């Protein structure tokens, strides 16, 4: 859980071809519905310039581009980028680090990051860097696993499912460490209120969130004043 960038990058290189399947396992099959909800919140349209940080294979970028927005999918895993370029050759996949984005100030109308913020080695620094490249008046949309709001469901999800997943992975996967890491990173991640506070401390204003599937995932929205 030290989140050494090189180790995390290598881990994602190793699971790139099966990453979308892995996400479906973690999400109880709700990944596509969550992406549709996030796309609706972003409300992409022609003329809008969007940076999709930690875009992986481009699953989050494609619906934004399909709506006519100019989208740059960025990731620090070359394996994920290679898989993305193969699936979506029309998207301008770009190698880059969320902590040191290769763009000047005030470029994007929206910066977004789906299921990737918790994998950065410095959450606050990543949010400040996203703020830097976002235009004044622009937004950030963070889609991330969170904590279910119902106590019973939260207990079942966090304690049982997150413990069962690594056990299943060790028996069935050639790369079980990736499953173990992702399960642990979800359990250790801040809840909705605490992540909103981190966004605010990083300089984002009017921060709020929308829960999806009882809070398994939360979409946080912040504005640049």
Residue 15 is predicted with a pLDDT of: 57
Take residue 131 and report the two structure tokens written for it.
Answer: 């703020």
Dihedral sign computed on CA atoms, order 56, 31, 49, 62: positive
β-bridge pairing 94-95 and 70-75 = parallel
pLDDT in tens, 125-156: 999 999 999 999 999 999 998 989 988 888 88
Take residue 211 and report the two structure tokens written for it.
Answer: 């829960």
CA distance 131 to 139: 9
Residue 1 is predicted with a pLDDT of: 46
Residue 119 is predicted with a pLDDT of: 86
Task: Name beta bridge partners: 145.
Answer: 217
pLDDT in tens, 56-85: 899 999 999 999 999 999 999 888 899 999
Dihedral sign computed on CA atoms, order 128, 130, 135, 140: negative
SS3 assignment, position 204: coil
Average pLDDT per run of 10 along the chain, which is 225 residues long? 60 60 65 92 98 94 97 93 94 97 98 93 96 98 92 82 70 68 82 97 98 94 97
CATH number of 5-223: 3.40.50.150
Residue 5 is predicted with a pLDDT of: 63
Q: Half-sphere exposure (CA, 13 Å, Cβ side) for 167?
A: 6
Residue 183 is predicted with a pLDDT of: 77
CA distance 57 to 37: 19
Spell out a b/e string for 108-147, using b for 16 or more CB atoms within 10 Å of the CB, else e: bbbbbbbbbbbbbeebeebbebbbbbbeeebbbbbbbbbb
Residue 134 is predicted with a pLDDT of: 98
Domain ranges of the chain: 5-223
């Amino acid at each position: 859980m030290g989140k050494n960038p090189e180790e995390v990058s290598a881990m994602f290189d190793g699971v790139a071809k099966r990453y979308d399947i892995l996400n479906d396992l973690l999400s109880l099959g709700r990944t596509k519905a969550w992406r549709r909800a996030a796309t609706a919140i972003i409300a992409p349209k022609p003329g809008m310039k969007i940076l999709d940080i930690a875009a992986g294979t481009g699953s989050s970028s494609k619906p934004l581009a399909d709506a006519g927005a100019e989208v740059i999918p960025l990731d620090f895993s070359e394996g994920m980028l290679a898989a993305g370029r193969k699936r979506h050759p029309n998207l301008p996949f770009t190698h880059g680090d969320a902590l040191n984005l290769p763009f000047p100030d005030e470029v994007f109308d929206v910066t977004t990051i789906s299921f990737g913020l918790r994998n950065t080695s410095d959450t606050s620094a990543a949010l400040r860097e996203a703020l830097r490249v976002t235009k004044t008046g622009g937004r950030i949309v963070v889609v991330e696993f969170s904590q279910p709001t119902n106590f019973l469901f939260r207990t079942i999800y966090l304690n049982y499912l997150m413990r069962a997943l690594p056990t299943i992975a060790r028996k069935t996967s050639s790369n079980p460490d990736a499953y173990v890491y992702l399960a642990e990173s979800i359990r250790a991640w801040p809840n909705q209120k605490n992540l909103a506070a981190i966004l605010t401390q990083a300089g984002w204003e009017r921060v709020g969130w929308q829960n999806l599937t009882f809070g398994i995932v939360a979409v946080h929205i912040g504005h640049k004043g």
